[in-house]
Chain A
Amino acid sequence: MGTKLLELKGINKAFYGVKALNSVDFSIDAGESRCLIGENGCGKSTLIKIISGFYTYDSGDIFIKGKHYKKITPMESIKEGIQIIYQDFSLFPNMTVAENITMNSFLSQNRKMVNWKEMKDVAQKALDNLRITIDLNTLVGDLNVAQKQLVAIARAILQDAKLIIMDEPTTALTHKEIISLYNIVEKLHKKGIAVLFVSHKLDEVLTISQKITVLRNGMNVFDGDAKDLNKRKLIYYITGKEIEAEPYIFEQKSEKPLMEVKNLSLNNHFSNVSFNLMPGEILGITGLLGCGRTELAKSLFGLMPASSGEIYVNGVRTEMESVQDAIKSNIGYVPEDRLTEGLHLEQTIGENSVVCVIDKLLGKIMNLDKKKMKLQMKKGLNSIKIEGMAYEKQAKSLSGGNQQKVVLVKWLAANPKILILNCPTVGVDVGSKSEIHEVIKNLARTGIGIIVISDDIPEILMICNRIMVMNQGKVVYEVLSTETTIEELEGKLVEEHVYV
């Protein structure tokens, strides 16, 4: 073995006496693709911030291409070719693709003037290099997530990146986009550029990385080849315990469907969607981004009223013209993006948990009855275990998984009969994910009908008893989860996409 591209030895880091990293060894070779995985708070972000020079470390050594660093600054890290692509990509939405790609390298060359022609040439070369086609004159704010990511990658390469660190790169991507990202990573590999993924999605981690590093409680608990691991072993390393997940078994208790949907259509989004939802059933709806799955969910909840078709709730024809209509029919909706749609992050956890039933907590003169509110908070927040929870803490202090649990509590307070969950575990770590799955299954067992929308096929298979695949606004496949496999469903998605 020659010298490693990057090598960390015995790194220690503590915040206010709490150990975040405990003598961690970590290394990556040129052209290697490695994945860093672990639960929230395991020290992943701390490690990355140390590599990029944003945090100093208490003790240990860093070697980059054999050169010893006792301390490293962000500038030195960039000069050594270490580039981070953050989850938000750090792009400028008000500027063109060309300018975004070249901005960093022009700045680091300490330029004073802008030559637009040269800028476009340089940017075009950077895109050609990756065989990507994006119009250079488009504003980045008008691109979709996958394109933004490509722009960020092109920008990193232009700065002579030797190691690209991607923070949760696939969270907002569709299946097809993820595959094209894999291809890009393959190209980087051939150019000798190393890629370090930080990811939560286990299946993905196992397919794309050659090497895997697992952190748990600030310690490196696994470091080795991806091929030596399977999903079960990986989960064991991440959580430190065996998680035995059982598929959801649906027992039909009544003949009467909770919800019947007949030929529901919304212009340009979906057409002729029909299905029944029985009490206690968990129905999965999957499909690529843009297939109409989110719009369907929003129509069922009155956010985007359907243009034609019928919805029956408990056998009664119901017009879902607004959210109020949906709430009257006892429907709850947990949106995809909990950060912008689901929670008031600045407010306390307690306040968030009661916001859906606030009108029931009023006193005699329309004031908030503090006692009733406390009672409701207790009732709701005791029903689901949330780590690090205190009523008066701000919602943003919780990790992603725990925030999602608060969103669930919030909607359960209104005693919904039908619950629509849109991508309930996006960006949530394995441990919390299985806890959320348990919560969902337990809810269904009490007789609530649940619709789960997700592109995470293993998840859909695990928690749903019936699955519908949507494509281009139509339901193209429906199957019981006991009668299908991951391969078949994934095949369906890709195959359908090729033929359309």
Chain B
Amino acid sequence: MFKKLLKSNEILLMILIIGLSILFGFINPSFLTIGNWFNVFRACLVLSIFGIGVLFVTISGGIDVSFMAIAAFSMYVTTKAFIALQWTGSIGVMFLVSTLIGILLGLVNAFFITTFKLPSFIVTLGTQNLFRGALLALVGTMFLVNVPKSMIAFSQAQLFIIKNSDGSTSGLHIGVLIVIALYILATLLLKYTMLGRSMYAIGGDIVAAKRVGINVNLVLGFVYGAAGALAGFAGLMHTALFRMSIPSDLVGNELTVIAAVVLGGANMAEGKGTTLGALLGIVLITIISNSLTLLKIPSYWQQIVMGVIIIVGTSIQSYNQKKRVKGIA
């Protein structure tokens, strides 16, 4: 039983996260302060919402590299429109609009993938450039800083606040609740609905899924639509947290999220993945980048470390996989 647990990817990740935290805590005690952990959680918020979308796509056997471009497009267009409206109402409406734009752009991906049976990588590579180009060429390139008041309020909304030893205060952002709610929803969807199981089925064997009578196009439409929606939502949250919208932001960081989800055990070739794994993968990557910053390691070196971790992590997984298959054969 214990051995089986050790082989579970989620447990391995937890051990790794705890081990690394202790190690970083030794090197720099400020890493283990509650204030820093609140920072880590805040840094996880946006990435972990992207993570759900990436997880859906990966489980259904695809790869999406356009979600950051969708996020940038949705957040910037929404912010610009609401600034023009001199919006004073709730930020909820802004989230809704950004999410809807995200769905539309996600459905563009779904349309090309299902109608022309194109590989998802090619389609989303194309739409990534398309959405980003359209945003910068048609919508604008200016940084938006005078964002609606409700956005600023949101960025400061803390669940609770604690006093640090040096007298400053740190808060746990309210977005944590949103992320937890989204992850619970995603878990229920994947585990207990036919739609969720159909996503696994398509990732496992798309031909068999068709023969079984799954409406593959409909399910893939949902998958890419949902990935778009989550990207739109996460994008707006990104803008709100930083209190400004930068159109050239986000794009370029797709692989960090994809790598985190893959570290979490998701596998597009086999239609595998869990929400817990994806979340732990995101936390792990965020912790590493957070602690490297605390250790004052230059950002180029951080990239090197990140690259090594991704390669080693995925290699260990693939090795375990092979061992398991061999052990049975």
Give me the interface of A with B, judged by CB distance under 8 Å.
75, 78, 86, 88, 90-95, 99, 103-104, 106-108, 111-114, 116, 141-142, 144
Contacts and interface: CB of A to CB of B under 8 A. Distances in A.
Shortest 4 CB-CB contacts between residues of A and residues of B: A92-B204, A90-B208, A94-B204, A94-B271
Interface string B195-233: 111001101110111011110000000000000000000
A79 to B, nearest CB: 11
Nearest to B208: A90
A370 B211 CA distance: 45
B270 A107 contact: no
Interface stretch (B63-71, B104-112, B139-147, B186-194): B186-194
Given A113-B192, A113-B194, A114-B191, A90 B200 contact: no
Contacts of B192: 113-114, 116
27 contacts: A86-B211, A90-B212, A92-B200, A92-B201, A92-B208, A92-B271, A94-B270, A94-B271, A95-B200, A99-B197, A103-B197, A103-B201, A103-B212, A104-B212, A104-B213, A107-B212, A107-B214, A108-B213, A111-B194, A112-B195, A113-B192, A113-B194, A114-B192, A116-B192, A141-B325, A142-B324, A144-B329
A113 B189 CA distance: 9
Nearest to B273: A94
B57 to A, nearest CB: 15
A249 B153 CA distance: 93
Q: Is the interface of B mostly helix, strand, loop or mixed?
A: helix
A37 to B, nearest CB: 24
Contact of A114 (B193, B214, B329): B193
B47 to A, nearest CB: 25
Given A90-B212, A107-B212, 14 more contacts: A78-B213, A88-B208, A90-B211, A92-B200, A92-B271, A93-B205, A94-B204, A94-B272, A106-B194, A107-B213, A107-B214, A112-B194, A114-B197, A141-B270
Given A107-B213, A141-B270, A112 B204 contact: no
A95 B214 CA distance: 15
Interface residues of B, number: 26
Contacts of B197: 95, 99, 103, 114
B213 to A, nearest CB: 5
Nearest to A140: B204
B328 interface: yes
Contact of B204 (A93, A113, A144): A93
Contacts of B200: 92, 94-95
Nearest to B213: A107
Nearest to B188: A113
Contacts of B208: 88, 90-92
Nearest to A104: B212
Nearest to A290: B329
Contacts of B325: 141-142
B323 to A, nearest CB: 12
B270 A114 contact: no
A88 B209 CA distance: 13
B5 to A, nearest CB: 15
A181 B213 CA distance: 27
B208 to A, nearest CB: 4
Contacts of B193: 112-114
Given A103-B197, A111-B194, A142-B325, A93 B270 contact: yes
A344 B277 CA distance: 37
B71 to A, nearest CB: 29
A238 to B, nearest CB: 29
A88 B210 CA distance: 14
Contacts of B201: 92, 95, 103
A223 B104 CA distance: 58
A92 B197 CA distance: 11
A239 to B, nearest CB: 32
B141 to A, nearest CB: 44
A114 B207 CA distance: 22
Contact of B194 (A93, A94, A114): A114
Nearest to A141: B270
A215 B325 CA distance: 41
A30 B145 CA distance: 76
A94 B212 contact: no
Nearest to A107: B213
A348 B125 CA distance: 31
Contacts of A75: 213
A78 B208 CA distance: 15
B213 A94 contact: no
Most chain B CB atoms below 10 A, which of A86, A107, A112, A142: A107
A447 to B, nearest CB: 38
A107 B196 CA distance: 12
B203 A94 contact: yes
A222 B132 CA distance: 66
B219 to A, nearest CB: 12
Contacts of A78: 213
B205 A90 contact: yes
Contacts of A112: 193-195
B205 A92 contact: yes
Nearest to B202: A92
Contacts of A114: 191-194, 196-197
A107 B194 contact: yes
B328 A142 contact: yes
Residue in A78, A93, A111 whose Cβ sees the most chain B Cβ within 10 Å? A93
Interface string B237-281: 000000000000000000000000000000000111000000000
Given A99-B197, A111-B194, A90 B207 contact: yes
Contacts of B272: 94
A239 B132 CA distance: 63
Contacts of B271: 92, 94
Nearest to B211: A90
A226 B271 CA distance: 44
Nearest to B191: A114
Contacts of B195: 112
